[in-house]
Chain A
Amino acid sequence: MGVLALQGAYAAHRAMLETLHVETRWVREPSDLNGVVGLIIPGGESTTIGKLLVREGLDVAIREAVHDGLPVFGTCAGMILMASRIVGSEQPRLGVLDVTVARNAFGRQVDSFEANIDIRRYGATPIRGVFIRAPYVVDVGPGVQVLARYNERVVAVQQNRLLAAAFHPELTTDNRMHRAFLDVCLGAQRDRNGSTDG
């Protein structure tokens, strides 16, 4: 599994994946994408990560890989970077997920919070959502499924192989969302192998 390691909470994602016995590779330049089954984009500062993405041409490489079927899971800043539209901002992004997001939409750090988030397909027990200067999704395109809301606000979405959350499952011990992403990656790999065999 590739973990984008330009800036942010990439180590927390690696620690989470280790509990699932998944090998990780830091992705910091285009060649690091070769052979990864999926890519996680961590939380951090989306403006910082966006600038560094452009510097090495990683933005183009990731966009191409997504076009070729690479699954991507973004949390917080990761979700912002995946979004096609960011309210009031022209900052660099991947623009692969057909949603509009608003940054720091719940307020500054003193407004950061934890809350239970229901995601039915992951089971009856809610996920503990850790929201840190978090964004939310303002609107979604036709191919995007809403996975979860908090106070009416969309905070988790999926569009085929792209998964995004406004909160930080990697800062908890609940690995259900990472497991769900792993399933997406394994499915993508099966499809790829199937098509070469056929």
Chain B
Amino acid sequence: MGNIDTVKSTWRNKVGLAEMLKGGVIMDVVTVEHATIAEEAGACAVMALERVPADIRATGGVARMSDPRLIKEIMAAVSIPVMAKARIGHFAEAQLLESLGVDFIDESEVLTPADEEYHINKHAFSVPFVCGCRNLGEALRRIGEGAAMIRTKGEAGTGNVVEAVRHMRAVMGGMRRLQAMPEEELMTAAKEMGAPYDLVCEIHRTGRLPVPNFSAGGIATPADASLMRQLGAEAIFVGSGIFKSANPAARAKAIVTANTYYDKPEVVAEVSEGLGDAMFSIDVRKLDEEDRMASRGW
């Protein structure tokens, strides 16, 4: 590109891709075959992984970035954007994923954190990042570090939407509170939330996050997708929910349709018929604290 006014990977380019994924479903895939099924079902992007969160939970041990060969094979197999996960704070994994040309990096609590104090400085990359959050303060800290998309953490690999609901309500409620505050209270709010003051002021003014706000962590059914969208999520990630279910292709397609027509219960009902068993699920209240992925990162 010879033009002198051409600038690559601007902030608008990064947030712009997140903007293009709105209203869509991003699916976890562990093989080329999965990726093709996901694309065929209408996924707007795939997350290339070695193991879905449910299997990471079952296997235990340190969960790391996936094999670059698998990521490259999936990138070659589909025409939609391909995302991949790096460990929290593991900027070398992120550099490597960027060099492979992945379209989005998820700095993810689903993998074992590499740094318990610092997240990746995402401004330093030309590839956009998505990060998880449990509340508004955490969302704004990640945006401050350069995340171009925010998602709820939920509790991945459980097939239980309760934590995603909790986190989405915390983010949306937090924004409503900031909006209603008189200006003199904003600095104290920023201090208490541990969030950048300028972003707190922006939410007070606009009532919305400056980057797209998606949901992840426990979504397993078309109705779960509809619920998260009605609570304010602009798109959804489905991890184990599809390929750990009885009929992945049909479920994937049903969740895509339910996500588009989330406010039309008759459509969500129609696509929910005869999908077979949802994924094996876990009661989050019975998880030990160290088994909770959502509490990784800060």
Contacts and interface: CB of A to CB of B under 8 A. Distances in A.
Interface of A: 5-12, 28, 43-45, 47-48, 51-52, 55, 76-77, 89, 103-104, 108-116, 126, 130-133, 150-151, 168, 171-172
Interface stretch (B39-47, B133-141, B195-203, B284-292): B39-47
Given A7-B22, A7-B44, A45-B44, A111 B128 contact: no
A178 B45 CA distance: 28
Contacts, number: 130
Most buried by A among B19, B45, B75, B127: B19
A44 B20 contact: yes
A132 B16 contact: yes
A44 B256 CA distance: 14
Contacts of B103: 108-110, 133
B16 to A, nearest CB: 5
B69 interface: no
B23 interface: yes
B98 interface: yes
Interface string B75-101: 100011100000000000000001001
Interface in B1-25: 1-3, 5-10, 12-13, 16-17, 19-24
A44 B104 contact: no
A114 B13 contact: yes
Nearest 4 pairs of A and B residues by beta carbon: A109-B103, A112-B13, A45-B44, A115-B6
Interface of B is mostly: loop
Contact of B17 (A112, A126, A151, A172): A112
B9 A110 contact: yes
Interface residues of B, number: 41
Given A28-B261, A45-B24, A171-B19, 4 more contacts: A45-B21, A115-B7, A132-B16, A151-B2
B257 interface: yes
A111 B8 contact: yes
Interface of B: 1-3, 5-10, 12-13, 16-17, 19-24, 39, 42-45, 75, 79-81, 98, 101-104, 126-128, 234, 256-257, 260-261
A45 B20 CA distance: 7
A115 B5 contact: yes
Contacts of B5: 115-116, 126
Most buried by B among A44, A104, A150: A44
B213 to A, nearest CB: 11
Most buried by B among A77, A114, A130: A114
A171 B12 contact: yes
A133 B24 contact: no
Contacts of B22: 7-11, 44
A55 B41 CA distance: 12
B99 to A, nearest CB: 9
A58 to B, nearest CB: 11
Most buried by A among B2, B13, B103: B13
Most buried by B among A12, A110, A115, A151: A110
Nearest to B45: A45
B23 A8 contact: yes
A6 B104 CA distance: 22
A111 B10 CA distance: 10
Contacts of B8: 110-113
